[in-house]
Structure 1
Amino acid sequence: MKKLLSFLLAFGPGIFAIGYTIGTGSVTSMIVAGNSFGMGLLWVLFFSCLFSGVLIYVSGSYYLATGETALFAVRRHLPWGKFLAIAIIVAVGIGQWNSLIGILGITSNVVYEILALNFPGLQGSKYWVVLGLAILIIGIFYLLLLKGKYSIFEKVLALFVSLMGLSFVFTLLFVFPQPAEVVAGLIPKIPDVPGAGILIAAFVGTTMAAATFLSRPLFIQGKGWTQADFRTQRNDSIIAGLLIFTISGAIMAVASGSLYGSGTEINNVLDMSGALEPSVGKFAVSVFFAGTLSAGLSSIFPCLMIVPLMLGDYSAGKLDVNSARFKVITGVASVVALSVPVFGFNPVQGQIFTQVFNVFALPLVIASLLYLWNRKGAGLPAGRWLTNGVMAAAFIFSLIISWNGLADIFG
């Protein structure tokens, strides 16, 4: 584990990319998708991870070449830059705070289910226990944020990402869908059933998180990388994309191999552990909860930080983790995060619904990065035709997914 953490810390900013991308939203969406459609939505995951990896690379490379962070550059160089940057901050901020609400709801319910298995007397006090756990979890993370050190955030995320990846990939050794199903799942098609558009939008919203690309230059800045680290930055982007696809694909594959076609409905947190039961028997709940809990905890830090980070980016192009503004806004986010436990919403449905909102800011962010990546006189790498093609495809892809999500919501 020590060697694994050392390896992950060598590619520091990629840890935050995984933290933003794979949370309880990914776990919930992948389990529900595998249960409902088998491997039929693997193509969505593949393209999302491909586009995400390229966009991570582009935003990081732009910073190393120009010294400008994403929103600072949008405000400075794009037509109507100030308006666009503010619109991005509002859209991404709402999406990430929505995600935070769902993440804390799932995480506190996961801890409750673990406690209830060992202490059955808690069953009658679920609301208050879940609320107390949610307050405890968000309180601990807020106190850690007050320390204001990038290295602390990085080490905590590295630990949770390691536990999450090991938990889910381990289960794939026992349950795996048929190879023919995997190949068929790479053929693009949208299932003609109610709710498929919303689930796909949630899929893309959690896998192609706009916050990942916007915050990338800031975390590279915190890591202290310079133009001499172009190759390291590129490798970090590739590894982040591959890990996102591997871990998310493992979750979907396990759910597909265990649940698809069984008629099982996933209505609460404990139902999702059924995806692992055929593979590891009585240890299913423990393994699933360990992975889900790690996924949730690894996403709380980035989601709490995103709004003050974007404001610091917009105003000065700097990583801001020490100011009074950072502490106040993350405190407000911590209170907002308690919405699911306070109002007693269904955490599974709440998590999927909150992930949908992330996809709507995506086209604007991709278009902005595409403009910056082709800005003349910026000293950017030559031969950008391949990245331009992938980014253009990502933009079209995000528009189609957003439209389908809206059609399902209003339909």
Structure 2
Amino acid sequence: MKNNIFSKTWKFLLSIGPGIFCIGFTIGTGSITSMTKAGSMYGMQLLWVLFLSAFFSWVLMEAYGRFTLVTGDTAIYAFRKNLKFGKAIALITVVSITIGQWGALSGILGLTSNAIYEILFLFFDGGAKSKYEYWFVLGIAVVIIITMFSLLSIGRYSFFEKVLVIFVTIMGISFIITMFIVPPTFNEITKGFKFQIPEGKDGNLMATAFVGTTMAAATFIVRPLVLHGKGWGKSNLKDQSRDALSSGILIFFISMAVMICATGAIFGTGKTVTKVLDMVTTLEPLAGRFAVALFMTGALSAGLSSIFPILMVAPIMYSDYKGDKLDLKSKHFKILTVIASILGLMVPVLGANPIAAQIATQVVNVFILPLVVGSIIILINRKKLMGKHKAGLFMNMALVTAFVFSCLISYTGIISLIEMF
């Protein structure tokens, strides 16, 4: 009976494979840091931003997925072929997303290697903490990136999908269980749906970072090639819709669980979390080592599940621009993933604190959103391309609202960066 339940669960998770890939792309240690910091500083006040970001993420995943399955064209290639100034739009999108994701990779690798180091110190008292801390952290980072690159060298999408399913499942279970160990009041959670920007200089910054990490342009642009990698076509439109919805729901609930953990454990105590690892010292006296272990397991799974897709982002963008299928064993795939791996080691090599850079990267990510949203609005409404599958009233209302939201958030991002510097 148990084996039957596990088998059905595993088959269900694999059935939303492209969605799992998108969750891995979207929820990383940068996302966990933003949710944790916001929960510790503002409680649940930014829950409405998270909800809207996850809702629009679902809408955009559905729009890009439907366009690709109906036309057979991937996002960047479709920009080039069908839009005025399409080549410029495609190049701007490729460069912006690649730079943003490579910058995020360095922060994620720095946070993940530091998290492993801190866990070793916490559970094996004095075992790792020493004057050689820098070399321990750097060594861990090198091992992680070499392992991930080696797994990529296997070159089969189905294999990557299974690895991501494992990471994302562990991440989701860890955060959701921890949420129930240190929950805020129900009233605090419901107040989070009230439209408000928290007072203080970081309010705009955190709201923008939430959108940059949850409503990530890279997720929508990469999704079409992932659908191709899965082997889906026009006959899978219903599968695609279910996959997009499942992904959007999981992104919201996993991210909310992290925010709830930070709110229940820290908000109102006068303490502020500036990095994920601060949760260790705050959670341990309150909920014990079990809760700490669960939370850090989730954070590590978030980091590892993001490294995989980010290493692939440049070759995905390259294949998309050229209008080719993603070849996981091609020469350019290996070269671009090697470059990404080397750049990913920058933060550990420099011994820098990745938190501020990570949040700044998330803020910068929102600036490409209006272009990405506006482009799909044009494409999915062309009857010549979409036929009977072109966007209906609900889809258009949601996409236009997403476009307005992305413009407002981009403006807020500019203001927050000016205030930051």
TM-score (norm 1): 0.96
1:346 CA displacement: 1.2
Q: 1:50 aligns with which of 43, 52, 55?
A: 55
| C-alpha distance in structure 2 between counterparts of 1:63 and 1:282, whole Å | 46
CA contact (8 A) 2:145 2:341 kept: yes
> Do 2:33 and 2:275's aligned partners in 1 also have CA atoms closer than 8 Å?
no
The whole-number CA distance in structure 1 between the counterparts of 2:151 and 2:161 is 12
Whole-Å separation in 1 of the counterparts to 2:63 and 2:205: 28
Q: Provide the rounded CA distance (Å) in 2 between the counterparts of 1:37 and 1:19.
A: 26
Q: d(CA) in 2 for partners of 1:313 and 1:209?
A: 18
Q: Confirm or deny that 1:282 pairs with 2:295.
A: no
> How big is the shift at 1:142?
0.7
Name the amino acid aligned to 1:120. Answer: G
Matches within 5 A, 1:167-246: 167-246=174-253
Give the stretch that moved more between structures: 172-181 or 214-223.
Answer: 172-181
* 2:100 is equivalent to residue 95 of structure 1: yes
How far, CA to CA, are the matches of 1:354 and 1:278 in structure 2? 33
The Cα shift of 1:239 comes to 0.5
Q: Which moved more, 1:380-389 or 1:312-321?
A: 380-389
User: Which of residues 367, 370, 382 is equivalent to 1:375?
Assistant: 382
Answer whether contact 2:383 2:390 (CA < 8 A) is retained.
no
Q: Which runs of 5+ in 2 are unaligned?
A: 1-5
Letter in 2 for 1:186: F
**2:66 counterpart residue number:** 61
Alignment check: 8 A CA contact 2:29 2:299 kept: yes
Paired residues for 1:343-354 under 5 Å: 343-354=350-361
CA contact (8 A) 1:171 1:279 kept: no
Tell me whether 1:405 sits opposite 2:409 in the alignment.
no
| Number of equivalenced pairs | 411
SS of aligned partner of 1:147? coil
Q: Which of the numbers 367, 387, 391 marks the counterpart of 2:399?
A: 391
Q: Is the 8 Å Cα contact of residues 266 and 272 (structure 2) preserved in structure 1?
A: no
- In the other structure, the counterpart of 2:163 is 156
* CA offsets 1:138-181 (integer angstroms, 9 cap, x no match): 11111111121101110110000000000001112223222222
CA distance in 1 between counterparts of 2:313 and 2:357 reads 20
Find the aligned partners of 2:261 and 2:282 in 1 and give their Cα distance.
6
Moved over 4 A (4+): none
What SS is found at the alignment partner of 1:399?
A: helix
Q: Answer with 391-400 or 158-167: which moved more.
A: 391-400
Between stretches 239-248 and 197-206, larger displacement belongs to: 197-206
Q: What aligned pairs does 1:308-327 form with structure 2 within 5 A after superposition?
A: 308-327=315-334
Compute the displacement of 1:126 (Å).
Answer: 1.1
CA contact (8 A) 1:304 1:333 kept: yes
1:255 to 251, 255, 262: 262
In the alignment, the residues of structure 1 paired with residue 360 and residue 99 of structure 2 have an alpha-carbon distance, to the nearest angstrom, of 13
Q: Report percent identity of matched pairs.
A: 49
Structure 1 gaps of 5+ residues are none
Offset of residue 353 of structure 1: 2.4
Instruction: Say if 1:367 and 1:380 are closer, same or farther in 2 by CA, change over 3 A.
Output: farther
2:76, 2:221 within 8 Å by CA — same for their partners in 1? yes
The answer on whether the counterparts of 2:66 and 2:237 sit within 8 Å (CA) in structure 1 is: yes
Does residue 31 of structure 2 align to residue 26 of structure 1?
yes
Please give the alpha-carbon distance, in whole angstroms, between the structure 1 residues aligned to 2:248 and 2:58.
Answer: 5
Amino acid at match of 1:161: V
Work out the CA distance in 1 between the residues paired with 2:285 and 2:320.
47
Instruction: Work out the CA distance in 2 between the residues paired with 1:288 and 1:361.
Output: 32
Aligned mates of 1:316, 1:349 — CA distance in 2:
36
CA apart distance, 1:267 = 3.8
**Rounded Cα–Cα distance in structure 1 between residues aligned with 2:103 and 2:391:** 38
